[in-house]
A and B are shown apart, each in its own frame.
Chain A
Amino acid sequence: QKEVEQNSGPLSVPEGAIASLNCTYSDRVSQSFFWYRQYSGKSPELIMSIYSNGDKEDGRFTAQLNKASQYVSLLIRDSQPSDSATYLCAVNNGGGFKTIFGAGTRLFVKA
């Protein structure tokens, strides 16, 4: 079992729809969770960070964390073609400051 797993996709949604990206992790002591967006040929850029159970909203983005289920998700509302990218889930184990990245989910938003 990989430490951080994501659906590889691609995930295709029409413009204006909600895109839902999912991530599971294996280390129960994980404390910090991040979503990065990576455009083709570019480096990852941080979209959201979340540290406690529940939802965290920032504009069109909502991160959801459920530590009991070891599950973190990213919702993108009103998806735009410019949201088309690979979304990387990253999990940090806190004490060791070790961050593990998932393989990413490719999202395509069709105009």
Chain B
Amino acid sequence: EAGVVQSPRYKIIEKKQPVAFWCNPISGHNTLYWYRQNLGQGPELLIRYENEEAVDDSQLPKDRFSAERLKGVDSTLKIQPAELGDSAVYLCASSLGRGENIQYFGAGTRLSVL
């Protein structure tokens, strides 16, 4: 069974440029998470989806970040415009949902904003 797939693995952009990350969760997993992980820190939740509904986006900087999960499967996280402080690893995770909350992580996207 395929795990959580993320792309790209690495992205280097200049500040003020837009960037997008893509995630394909484990088949059958209803819950999808986007996290940001800074060096030496644990993952911090940006947004959580239950199927196609964003149920927790309280930590998402909505002035520059946006996300969508069309048809309740794949998801895209976008930053526009990127700032230097956005450099981090962006992790996508999925879980079965319906009370089962063990999360499985993708390989992540390492973003460097120059």
Which residues of A are interface residues toward B (Cβ below 8 A)?
Answer: 4, 8, 32, 34, 42-46, 49, 88, 90, 92, 96-99, 101-104
Contact = CB atoms under 8 A, between A and B. Distances in A.
Contact of A103 (B40, B56, B91, B107): B40
Nearest to A44: B105
Contacts of A34: 102-103
A44 B43 CA distance: 9
16 contacts: A32-B101, A34-B103, A43-B106, A43-B107, A44-B91, A44-B105, A45-B105, A90-B42, A90-B103, A92-B101, A97-B56, A98-B56, A99-B101, A101-B42, A103-B40, A104-B41
Given A43-B108, A102-B42, A104-B42, A97 B103 contact: no
Contacts of B40: 8, 103-104
Contacts of B105: 43-45
B102 A49 contact: yes
A101 B102 contact: no
A47 B42 CA distance: 16
A42 B43 contact: no
Nearest to A88: B42
